[in-house]
Chains A and B, each alone.
Chain A
Amino acid sequence: MWRVGTVIALHDETATARTITLEVSDWPRHVAGQHVDVRLTASDGYSAVRSYSIASAPNSEGRVELTVERLPNGEVSPYLTQELAVGDRLELRGPIGGWFVWRTQQTEPIQLIAGGSGIVPLMAMIRSRASTGSAAPFRLLYSVRKPEAVLYRNDLQTLSDRDNKVSLTYAYTRATPKDWPRAPGRIDAALIADATWSSNLAPTCFVCGPTSFVEGATDLLIASGHGRDKIRTERFGPTGDRK
């Protein structure tokens, strides 16, 4: 059940995050929101497995993009973000997960809430929507520590500028850009009220990030009237790692 992907491109998103583009033969076409397990094996047989959300939209070319954040004490992320080279091969299992997914047939309003690297699977959803020309109303609330940590800034800019756009709101928790109207801080009820779909519209909400972020954001959504059954969550480890 492990497939082999070949690295065909590497792109640094930030000082610590890199997107790895893999070509996987006989890739069964994923759905936005799914993830893969990546297995690394040393020459003596020692192996480590980590989960990474797929950042790319579903496609028929067997293309799988993973955005990996380098963790200071990580065992796998330093290798993937610094050592891995174009032409290297990675073992992947997946695509995995059928709950935290957005399918292009869905037409209801979608509220995306990302905490840090939780943006990755939500980006796959945004890209999936763009690639199929879906008109489903999408809003993204992206909470991140500081401007330098934002992933996919250019893509998000493009997708929020054009017609049929994704409404985009950044929430900075530690440091903001110059003259930013909102002081640094976590997302709160006021931001939810201003920048997300009202519960009257019965949107499906996708919340992704570290567990504490997901718990906080989910509580805020429920407090503003969204039903628990309309909220889908994916929790990353406290350091942002999936495992």
Chain B
Amino acid sequence: MAELDLAALVRAAADGDADAWDRLVERCTPLLWSIARGYRLPTSDAEDVVQTSWLRLLEHLGRLDDPARVRAWLATTVRRECLLVLRKQGRAVPTGPDELEADAPPDQAVGPEAAVLRSERSVLLARAFAELSARCQQLLRLLAAPASYEEIVAATGMRIGAIGPTRARCLDHLRRRLAVAGSNVGLAD
């Protein structure tokens, strides 16, 4: 069965097709979740933010300028709601892409103890990821979602030209931490 593209799903949902809405939710929620987690929101706040963003979209379904870019639209909305939650809680609000790096607490969600990880390699990767700066975690989460560069800009406010170099630097950090952890499995070359 051919995948309907996102623009077609948006139009169908706007016309009353509940199945199209369900498929939109299934296809976009992982990205929205990765954005909320990238801002270090705990589970309940992350759920509220993503849920609110879907409700926001509902009223805009038939009004989007470019339905094909609905993921970027949602990403912008989630980012805005994340910043509101952080502000309400009196936590540091990242106003630029560098500020997440400063004093963010460690990401609890992906600690090695967060779930039963099947292989030693997974444990090492989780540990290496947890040691990265908040900014690197945020970007790598989005890349892994996977998010397009346009969606990353919408989700973070980063300049598009900064994504490539930051990606390379963050992957380098991740590899070095993996190497320190004594795992060179899969990292040859």
Verify that A and B bind, or say they do not. Answer: no
Q: Which residues of B contact A (CB under 8 A)?
A: none
